[in-house]
Structure 1
Amino acid sequence: MAESVETAPAAAPDESTAQEQGPSAYVYGIVPADVQVSDDARGVGSPPAPVRLVPHGEIGALVSEIAIDRPLGTPDDLMAHQQLLDATAAEVPLLPLRFGAVMTSLEAVADELLAPHHDEFLAALDELEGRAEFVVKGRYDERTLLREVLSESPEAAQLRDEIKGKPEDATRNARIQLGELVSQAVSAKREADTENILDRLAPLSVLTVVRDPSHEEDAVHLALLVERDRQDDVREAVDEYSQQWEGRIGLRLLGPLAAYDFVLTAGQEGG
């Protein structure tokens, strides 16, 4: 499903071709056709371009016009893309497209994107009705983490004592060995802590995804697809763990967000 949503960024033509073709269509995501787009909704571009809906049947695409000879990828563009999708997903079902999806015209959006995949997109939107993505991120406190590892591993503690106060060159092998022990210990802790909080959050969620760590000190990185009427339950559960892990793991709950982690699996709950 999601693979067919993603369209490749258009290659920039020469100036004369761009003038003949006119502006292209930057596509943000797929929504139900009855979604009302605010007059002040803005997307990528400098100045930010107005966002409109291109409808087809029971679905539509959120788009804005963009000159394809203009480079994409500035921090402002990325932020505009993310903010528009997250704000939309907080209110209505949304299939988000990855940053940089450009089609040759508004007509191409309807004819080449929406029409061939109308039924697939509509079914996926139905699955996301009343649901949004939340992300739980947790990072270990570095000092607390090291104390835990050293207290639980006599071998690591011994290596730490051997290294202490000695030149790096003289203790290179010991430092490498200690680093490997710490890394293995952190991986084991991450797995245990993730399983711990997932046991609490999974019953409150429709679907869950364990994300890969984005930092060596990441403790938890989860994506949750949540019914909107259970958002408060999820926040309460994360608050409980924030208190339980205070001084050890700093937890954050992000959302509601566009359901990037679930556009492939929204129709496969029973699989």
Structure 2
Amino acid sequence: MVTTATGTYVYGVVPADVETDSEARGVGGDGAPVTVVRHGRVAALVSEVNLDRPLGTPDDLLAHEALLDATAAVVPVVPVRFGAVLTDEKSIVDEFLAPHHDEFAATLGRLDGKAEYVVTAKYAEDALLREVIAADPRLERLRAAIRDRPEETTREERIELGEAVGAAIDARRRADAQAVVEALAPATTTAVEREPVGEFGAANVAVLAETRRERQLVRAVEDLARRWAGRVEVRLLGPLAPYDFTEAQPWDSSAPS
């Protein structure tokens, strides 16, 4: 008879009194239910996983994130990085929960009533270029100097213009990212500036906010979007698990990769 090797996949840590949704399913595509392994005041969200099937598909990652994000909308959760698998429930307690029980409990207390939200901003390309050139007469002179002239005879001017425009965009990006942080500050606890996405990314800011103040956060983003209409597209994502606010913690090294 062929037997299937299984392990216990760990998603994150929650308060011990949390009950899982009977409909929740984990990674692996085999429909394994999500359960909890409790120890003291904390518990691990887990599911059984088939070790004969390698993890790492886009569907696995989406399932991992979807479970954590749905959890963060209702209870505090400390996310575990994708792909953490231990042998069984005993090893989860002995190797994961027990050694860091107090750190987990303290972090869950700090996160209680809060979730992560992410605000992304993307420049309208034409509007951005018009803006940076209009703000610096030197750029307009460079652009005029190469207009209608062959590329091979204006190589140096084109390089100079490209470098100058790039520097101007970087400066504007830094200012706009700070403007996002300041606009969100009244509705948030703390913020982390992440690398903007794409050539015309303006800002990518993760914030930790109380879920009861979500409406205030939404209004702040809407106000920013109105102020930047036609110039920058602004989006709000969340509530999400606090990925950006629980990194480099003591338990991270204990979570297997």
Instruction: Name the TM-score, length of structure 1 as normaliser.
Output: 0.86
For 1:72, which of 31, 49, 55 is the aligned residue?
A: 55
The aligned runs of 1:237-256 (5 Å cut-off) are 237-256=220-239
> Quick check: 245-254 or 100-109, which moved more?
100-109
Q: Decide whether the 8 Å contact of 1:24 with 1:106 is kept in 2.
A: no
Q: Which piece of structure 1 moves more, 236-245 or 148-157?
A: 148-157
Change (3 A) 1:146 1:50: same
Is residue 2:13 matched to residue 1:30? yes
Choose from 166, 181, 186 the match for 1:203.
186
Cα pair distance change 1:59/1:151, threshold 3 Å? same
Aligned mate of 2:159, from 173, 176, 179: 176
Candidates 61, 77, 101, aligned match of 1:94: 77
Confirm or deny that 1:132 pairs with 2:115.
Answer: yes
Please point out which of 226, 247, 252 is paired with 2:209.
Answer: 226
Is 1:84 the counterpart of 2:70? The answer is no
1:47 corresponds to 2:24: no
User: Partner amino acid for 2:44?
Assistant: A
> What is the alpha-carbon distance in structure 2 between the residues aligned to residue 102 and residue 78 of structure 1?
14
Query: Which sits farther off after the overlay, 141-150 or 175-184?
Result: 175-184
Partner residue of 1:9?
none
Match of residue 92, structure 2, among 86, 104, 109: 109
How far the C-alpha of 1:46 sits from its partner, in A, is 2.1
**Aligned counterparts of 2:125 and 2:159: Cα–Cα separation in 1:** 18
Q: Which one-letter code corresponds to 1:209 in the other structure?
A: V
Q: Provide the residue aligned with 2:141 in structure 1.
A: 158
- CA distance in 1 between counterparts of 2:185 and 2:203 reads 14
Q: How many Å apart are 1:263 and its aligned residue?
A: 1.1
1:260-271 map, 5 Å: 260-264=243-247
Deviations 1:213-271 (A, max 9, x none): 222211121111101121111100110011110000000011100001111499xxxxx
Name the structure 2 match of 1:192: 175
Distance (whole Å) between structure 2 residues aligned to residue 102 and residue 170 of structure 1 = 61
1:148 is the counterpart of 2:128: no
CA contact (8 A) 1:33 1:59 kept: yes
SS at match of 1:29: strand
Partner SS for 2:154: helix
- Structure 1: runs of 5 or more not aligned: 1-15, 267-271
Identity among equivalent pairs (%) = 50
Q: Give me the whole-angstrom Cα distance separating, in 1, the residues matched to 2:155 and 2:12.
A: 52
Can you list the C-alpha shifts for 1:181-221, whole angstroms capped at 9, x where unaligned? 11111111111112223222113211111112222211121
What residue identity is the alignment partner of 1:164? R
Partner secondary structure for residue 117 of structure 1:
helix
What is the one-letter code of the residue matched to 2:212?
D
Unaligned runs of 5+ in 2: 250-257
TM-score (norm 2): 0.91
Match of 1:118 among 87, 101, 126: 101
8 Å CA contact retained: 2:76, 2:108: yes
Instruction: Provide the rounded CA distance (Å) in 2 between the counterparts of 1:223 and 1:208.
Output: 6
Report which stretch shifted further, 194-203 or 183-192. Answer: 194-203
| SS of corresponding position for 1:115 | helix
Count of aligned pairs: 248
